[in-house]
Structure 1
Amino acid sequence: MLKNIFGKKQRTMLHAPVSGKVVPLEEVPDPVFSEKMMGEGIAITPTDGNIIAPFDGEIVQLPETKHAIGLMDKDGNEVLIHIGLDTVELKGEGFTAKVKAGDAVSAGQPLMELDLEYLQENAKSIVTPIVITNSANSGKEIQLTEEKEASAGVTVLLTITGK
């Protein structure tokens, strides 16, 4: 039997932070996301207003407008959950944060409650991109789900394998 002297590759599974319809990033009606300027990922059109932590990690960003949440896992993967498009213009209306920057979070922990009805009426779109913001030139492999519907905390949206 051979021993692997190079160690095991890190593997992170990112679970759906919200339930809803899975949308390829290329179909998000905003070039910043569809052209992957922010990084590789996937999107969900939410069917409920509960955003949960997709893995164990830390909240690294939560703007005053509450339209996005930045997280980092133990392997240094930086994930942005951007709730809707142009939702920064809502100035925090429709969002209730359950965490703050610097908080340690566990997979499945509530991060944000959304007033989905308000967002559907007032945002350009409620499609929610979930991107690995430090995926470019990382040397990591990202495998996306083929599922069409996501269940928060259950569906694995993507798997990151790498250094």
Structure 2
Amino acid sequence: MSTEVGSPVAGLTTPLSDVPDPVFSQAMVGPGLAVKPTGGESDVVAPAAGQVVTLHPHAFVIAASTGGAVLVHLGIDTVKLKGEGFTLHVAKGDAVEAGQKMITWNPTEVESQGYSSTCPVIALEAAPESLTDLREDAQVLAGDPLFVLDA
């Protein structure tokens, strides 16, 4: 089964190798893409339909209903913000639809506090060759396709 993984935020897609954190840039947790958000306060949307299996203010994992799991991390080292500036709209265990509002945040505010706002979107425990149709170096809107995961 294949899962189309959408962008959780609007911005410019970049390869994971450009993410300023080796856990992501070296694909230690899995392959994917990153999105450098544009603009101020905005909603983060679910990249795929499924169930919220992990939820923190700065990150979440969705077990896709069509197979595989997708991690979205809002910025780098943003765990240090202790949830400040993030508003959750879902709870762990919720079923979500692709494009559903998950979290509201402000990437500009994150940057002003000295953190990168780049958002890695990772296919957890997936082989790099299981990702196809990667949209690198593209402007995307929240919900636009980033890649297809063959689970």
- Normalising by structure 2, report the TM-score: 0.91
2:76 and 2:70 map into 1 onto residues whose CA distance is 17
Equivalent residue, structure 1, for 2:47:
54
Equivalent residue, structure 2, for 1:112:
103
- Normalising by structure 1, report the TM-score: 0.85
1:147 and 1:57 map into 2 onto residues whose CA distance is 27
Matched, 1:160 2:135: no
CA shift digits 1:4-49 (9 cap, x unpaired): xxxxxx1111111110011110111110000000100000011142
User: Number of aligned pairs?
Assistant: 148
Match of 1:88 among 79, 84, 97: 79
Q: Give percent identity, aligned residues only.
A: 39
Report how far residue 75 of structure 1 moved: 3.0
Equivalent residue, structure 1, for 2:60:
69
Which stretches in structure 1 are left out of the alignment for 5+ residues? 1-9
1:116 and 1:23 map into 2 onto residues whose CA distance is 16
Which stretches in structure 2 are left out of the alignment for 5+ residues? none
RMSD (Å), alpha carbons: 1.6
Alignment of 1:1-163 (within 5 A): 10-48=1-39, 49-63=42-56, 66-136=57-127, 141-143=130-132, 144-153=134-143, 155-162=144-151
Taking structure 1 as reference, are residues 27 and 62 closer, same or farther at Cα in structure 2, changes over 3 Å only? same
Larger Rg: 1
Report how far residue 123 of structure 1 moved: 4.3
